[in-house]
Structure 1
Amino acid sequence: MDDLTQLRYEFKDHIATLTLDAPPVNALTRVLNDELTLALDRISEMDEVRVVVLTGAGKVFCAGADLKGRAGVIRGPGDLPAHSRRTRECFHAIRECAKPVICALNGAALGSGLAMAASSDILIASERASLGLPEVDVGLLGGCRHAMRLFSHSRLRRMMLTGLRVPGAELHRLGIVEACTTPEELLPTALEMAGVIASKSPVSTRMGKHTLNVIEDMSLRDGYRYEQDMTAQIARTDDAREAQRAFAEKRAPVFTGR
């Protein structure tokens, strides 16, 4: 990951930490967009990584689209569709990453930043964090479809129509984030949760995330049938057999990811 310039990569104990680092407010520049997509695609195929923590450097998680840079990349026919495609693929790279992604919201996550958070698997916020859709003030639409996975009908429309920002404590009250911590405790809390996930069978967590993504838009009957089929596949893995042996022998399992 030495080729990244606006994204920091750290790895320890099966946990990959990705830090958005595009000062001053981590706006989603073309470079950051493409680097985040690339890093997550790589991580999907890195057996040593079992879970990802995504956070931002400084006081802002991501202030949204890079409006200044946008003018430089959208100049002629075809530029806008191409730009839109790259942007949505960045969000899909988070959701479709083979490894669970914990989003540690260190500050405001606006527009594109909210879409990143909504594309993650687990959200944790600091007291300084907030989620918002400010596009109404700049003549654009934001990631409302992504936000629908987090907010109720009325709250989402209020956010979109007024630019309302929802602070970390309220996000926790609503059950949108798992915890609201002090700024100092945010990353330790995220890493602690990541450590719990990393201790599980990587086959089970990978297939579990994939299954949840697939069944999200299915009917109850079809979705549960698919989940049962995936359960049958997991049960045939070495990790599943190891988990059963460890349970019977009253010891901690040693997973190999096979």
Structure 2
Amino acid sequence: MNFDQYQTISFTRRKRVLYVTFNRPERLNAVDELMHEELAQVFVDCSRDPDSDLVVVTGAGRAFCAGGDIEWMQDAIDVPSRFEKTAREAKQIVYSLLDCEKPVIAKLNGHATGLGATIALFCDVIFASSKAKIGDPHVSVGFVAGDGGAVIWPQLVGYARAKEYLLTGDLLTADQAAAIGLINHSVPPEELDARVDAFADRLNAGAIKAIRWTKMATNIGLKQLAHSAMDACLAYESLSNVTRDHQEAVNAFREKRAAVFSGE
């Protein structure tokens, strides 16, 4: 596979493990239009890559992924029709993760929020630095958690806990997330690389076809759920894109102040 075409994601290899690194560290790996386009394609390419049997997803710098870039949000407010493309890509991101036969491990080197949390939670096994936090604060910017959060959170922690965190946008520490089953493991940051590599090597030393197909069998119900819900979730998010509260939240973020919501 030719991964050189990617501009916001970088790739390295160790044995038959492919490391996919979100690479906008100066923006805490926040997702802009180009990165969103690349995220919609990257797991398709990973699945087709003949030189790897397992994928590890992580972030460059201090964060895993800080969700949507605020300037990109303003662009979608200014030209709402652009959200049609965003919605198509959002489905592709989730579906391609679920369709990737190779095990995908999320290595949360730092905070994972919004879309960053969604990508992490749709991975197969999630390791996080104990210093990392995870959450889906879409509502904090006046946005519906429509890009997959409303699908995956209830499956991992139940509907009551999922709604508590999705409706408040509160972040959890890695320890808290592991304790409620949102992620698999919270580990000391100095041990994160070694723990992930050891787990990757364990899987790759196994009967890899049986492991792949077990993943796909396990994902059947989740794929059905995602396909039945994502269109409605993204339609609600599209509606929230043109609300006054969303614009107020974007303005407040830019002006480094608390947002004052009006419910409009």
1:149 aligns with 2:155: yes
1:211 aligns with 2:217: yes
Contact 2:6 2:38 in 1 (8 A): yes
For 1:63 and 1:137, locate their aligned partners in 2 and report how far apart those are by CA, in whole Å.
Answer: 13
Instruction: Give 1:75-90 correspondences, 5 Å limit.
Output: 75-76=78-79, 78-90=81-93
* Residue aligning to 1:102: 105
For 1:54 and 1:161, locate their aligned partners in 2 and report how far apart those are by CA, in whole Å.
Answer: 27
1:134 aligns with 2:137: yes
Give, in angstroms, the shift of residue 153 of structure 1. 2.0
Structure 1 residue corresponding to 2:65, chosen from 62, 67, 91: 62
Choose between structure 1 and 2 for higher RCO, CA contacts under 8 A separated by at least 6 residues. Answer: 2
> CA, structure 1 residues 138+73, in 2 after alignment: closer, same or farther (shift >3 Å)?
closer
Contact 1:34 1:90 in 2 (8 A): no
Structure 2 residue corresponding to 1:20, chosen from 14, 19, 22: 22
State TM-score, norm by structure 2. Answer: 0.76
> CA, structure 1 residues 21+115, in 2 after alignment: closer, same or farther (shift >3 Å)?
same
* Residue aligning to 1:121: 124
SS at match of 1:18: strand
Give, in angstroms, the shift of residue 203 of structure 1. 1.7
1:183 aligns with 2:189: yes
For 1:43 and 1:160, locate their aligned partners in 2 and report how far apart those are by CA, in whole Å.
Answer: 30
Instruction: Give 1:36-55 correspondences, 5 Å limit.
Output: 36-55=39-58
Q: Which is worse superposed, 111-120 or 181-190?
A: 181-190
| Percentage of pairs with the same residue | 26
Give, in angstroms, the shift of residue 73 of structure 1. 5.2
Give, in angstroms, the shift of residue 25 of structure 1. 1.1
Give, in angstroms, the shift of residue 188 of structure 1. 1.7
Question: Where is the helix percentage greater, Structure 1 or Structure 2?
Answer: 2
* Residue aligning to 1:158: 164
State TM-score, norm by structure 1. Answer: 0.78
For residues 110-146 of structure 1, what are the alpha-carbon distances to aligned partners after superposition, in whole Å with 9 as ceiling and x for unaligned? Answer: 1111110111000111111122121222110122222
* Residue aligning to 1:192: 198
**Unmatched segments (≥5 aa) in structure 1:** 219-258
- Root-mean-square deviation over aligned CA pairs: 1.9
Supply the AA of the counterpart residue of 1:53: V
Supply the AA of the counterpart residue of 2:60: A
* Residue aligning to 1:250: none
Give, in angstroms, the shift of residue 196 of structure 1. 0.8
* Residue aligning to 2:230: none
Contact 2:154 2:161 in 1 (8 A): no
Contact 2:41 2:92 in 1 (8 A): no
The count of aligned residue pairs is: 218
For 1:61 and 1:167, locate their aligned partners in 2 and report how far apart those are by CA, in whole Å.
Answer: 14
Supply the AA of the counterpart residue of 2:21: T
Contact 2:11 2:18 in 1 (8 A): yes
